[in-house]
Amino acid sequence: MKRYIVFVFAGVMATIMIGACQTETDQRIETRWAGETIEEIIGNIESQIGGFSTTMVEVSYRYDELYWAGQDENWGYADYQLDKLMSSMENGFIRRPDREASATQFMNQVSPALAETIESGDKDAFVEQFNRFASSCNTCHQMEEVAFMQVIIPEKRTSLVQF
């Protein structure tokens, strides 16, 4: 599904770029769903991609996978999930730049510390650092006035990946 969305998005963007090279004042682009004008197309694509709540759906998935990777001592997978989680956050900041200020400590201190712990391969240190990681999520939620969204340490494995 994700690859399909990326493919559709790339196709629409190529259409927009080709259309942008036209010299006509009233540019019309034929699409099936995105709109007729560049403004409509961009607006509809933005609506499809979503705001920071879309980012949080992916972050939640990566967070769970990261936790269980650490429990399994699958450090390569843990590193992969942390990297993808951070990339998702950065993409979210592009869509919602106002969210970045609340996540500064999470992005610049807590996550790099967790990355170092993953690199060390120390499970006990990972558990301790992951608790800080979760706490930092909750601090950000408080700053964003969504403290009712409490992040906890996963209790039930839903991941299909095990090491």
Determine the pLDDT at residue 33.
74
| Burial class (CB within 10 angstroms; exposed 0-12, middle 13-18, buried 19+) of 61 | middle
**pTM score, whole prediction:** 0.76
pLDDT, tens digit, 9 for 90 and up, residues 20-60: 555 555 666 556 677 878 888 888 888 888 888 899 999 99
Q: Which residue has the higher pLDDT, 45 or 129?
A: 129
Determine the pLDDT at residue 31.
61
Q: What is the DSSP string of 8-64?
A: HHHHHHHHHHHHHT---SS-----SSS-SSHHHHHHHHHHHH-SHHHHHHHHHHHHH
pLDDT, tens digit, 9 for 90 and up, residues 76-125: 999 999 999 999 999 999 999 999 999 999 999 999 999 999 999 999 99
Determine the pLDDT at residue 4.
41
Determine the pLDDT at residue 13.
53
Sign of CA dihedral 78, 84, 90, 93: negative
> Model confidence at 7, in pLDDT bands (50, 70, 90)?
very low
* pLDDT over threshold 70, residue 135: yes
